[in-house]
């Protein structure tokens, strides 16, 4: 529950985490059609199939057509109700409260009593904010300071705050996927989840060094992560996040994966992000398979200048590994480029 993975029909286990197509929390609504639709709680179990996958009706397994369309069938099949979630239209087993909110008041807002951050969305999308904000806690007794901090438990949202030495001031520190003076903004990012398929390549080294990079226009690495992959009977999955710079430069983005034995390149893959780089968050999932050939796979003709090394890939792509200070085909500054 609350782990981001939907295990229950209607996303009941993730109603505080999952979002509907309107980008709002699921809450008391019913999520269906693989996340493409949300319906009101009153539309559940009324004999009308509002969802294409029909889960809004199949979840009421006891409903076998006992009641007319548009009415709710009590779970004990001892009554049909034209409405539910009220005491006035009650089933003997009280099943009319199935999938009902805590309150049916028309002004009721789900989780409205919880602390929420209010911020300027436009400003959050396009402006770089200062990394830290000072949070002043009045100098007082230790018990009073603890009480003051308790009221600010969510002040830094997904981050945390630390106290400045010999001071009553606190500063917010944010994880990479959030930023802002109170860690209240989501970083635009690409999530990359992958695993290596080594079944046909027992000759590969037991441990591979892996570089995952977010590349702009084929030559500029704007973010990267290093990982290690260990040969196992059942290969494990890895996930990493690559953050767009702020402000985000225009151009063509891609994710490139390079595998090394020590410092020697073995093979590489590249997957386009553009034109989907307009999305605030994008996740790419891949199984990476090594071609059935010897490594390193060098180009039959070296297209790289200034003593660069040309590595071949499928689809007639190649990668230039350059000496420090060179890029593209090792002709200008400073790194690597793939050509079609």
Which pLDDT tens digit goes with each residue over 28-46?
899 998 888 899 888 888 8
Q: Does residue 327 surpass a pLDDT of 80? A: no
Of the CA atoms within 13 Å of residue 83, those in its CB half-sphere come to 6
Instruction: Report phi then psi at 254, rounded to 5.
Output: -150, 160
Residue found by looking up tokens 């040309």 in the block: 310
pLDDT class of 182 with cuts at 50, 70, 90: confident
DSSP per residue, 98-164: TT--S---TT--TTTTS------HHHHHH-PPPS--EEE-----HHHHHHHHHTTTTTTTTSEEEEP
Helix, strand, coil percent content, the chain, rounded in steps of 5: 10, 30, 60
pLDDT class of 340 with cuts at 50, 70, 90: very low
What are the CA-CA distances from residue 284 to residues 238, 313, 315 (Å)?
12, 20, 20
Over residues 275-322, the pLDDT tens digits come to 898 898 999 999 998 888 778 788 888 878 887 888 877 777 778 877
* Residue 174 CB-density burial (10 A; 0-12 exposed, 13-18 middle, 19+ buried): buried
Give residues with Cβ within 8 angstroms of 293, minimum separation 6: none
Contact 145, 168 (CB under 8 A): yes
Measured distance CA(241)–CA(185) in Å, rounded? 16
Q: Does residue 336 surpass a pLDDT of 50? A: no
What is the enclosing helix (H) or strand (E) of 194? strand 189-197
Q: Where are the domains of the chain?
A: 1-114, 121-186, 189-294, 298-340
Protein fold of 189-294 = Immunoglobulin-like (2.60.40)
Of the CA atoms within 13 Å of residue 81, those in its CB half-sphere come to 26
Higher-pLDDT residue of 53, 234? 53
Winning range, highest mean pLDDT, from 103-112, 163-172, 199-208: 199-208
Higher-pLDDT residue of 277, 153? 277
Measured distance CA(211)–CA(227) in Å, rounded? 7
Higher-pLDDT residue of 144, 262? 262
């Amino acid at each position: 529950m609350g782990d981001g993975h939907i295990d229950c029909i209607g996303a009941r286990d993730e109603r505080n985490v999952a979002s509907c197509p309107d980008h709002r929390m699921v809450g008391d609504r019913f999520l269906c059609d693989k996340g493409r639709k949300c319906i009101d709680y009153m539309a559940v179990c009324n004999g009308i199939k509002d969802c294409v996958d029909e889960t809004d009706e199949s979840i009421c397994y006891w409903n076998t057509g006992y009641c007319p369309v548009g009415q709710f069938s009590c779970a004990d099949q001892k009554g049909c109700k034209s409405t539910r979630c009220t005491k006035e239209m009650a089933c003997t087993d009280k099943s009319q409260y199935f999938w009902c909110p805590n309150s049916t008041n028309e002004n009721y807002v789900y989780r409205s009593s919880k602390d929420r951050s209010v911020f300027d969305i436009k400003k959050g999308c396009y402006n770089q904010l200062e990394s830290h904000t000072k949070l002043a806690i009045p100098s007082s007794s230790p018990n009073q300071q603890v009480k003051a901090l308790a009221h600010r438990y969510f002040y830094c949202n997904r981050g945390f705050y630390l106290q400045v030495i010999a001071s009553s001031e606190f500063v917010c520190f944010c994880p990479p996927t959030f930023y802002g003076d109170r860690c209240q903004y989501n970083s635009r990012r690409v999530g990359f989840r992958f695993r290596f398929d080594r079944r046909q390549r027992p000759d590969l080294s037991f441990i591979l060094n892996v570089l995952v990079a977010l590349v702009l226009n084929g030559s500029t690495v704007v973010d990267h992560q290093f990982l290690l992959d260990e040969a196992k009977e059942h290969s494990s999955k890895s996930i990493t996040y690559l953050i767009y710079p702020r402000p985000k430069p225009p151009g063509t983005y891609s994710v490139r994966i390079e595998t090394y034995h020590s410092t020697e390149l073995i093979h590489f893959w590249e997957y386009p992000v553009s034109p989907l780089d307009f999305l605030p968050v994008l996740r790419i999932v891949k199984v990476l398979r090594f071609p059935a050939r010897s490594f390193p796979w060098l180009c039959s003709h070296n297209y790289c200048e200034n003593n660069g090394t040309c590595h071949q890939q499928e689809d007639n792509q190649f990668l230039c590994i350059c000496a420090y200070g060179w890029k593209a085909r090792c002709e200008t500054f400073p790194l690597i480029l793939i050509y079609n």
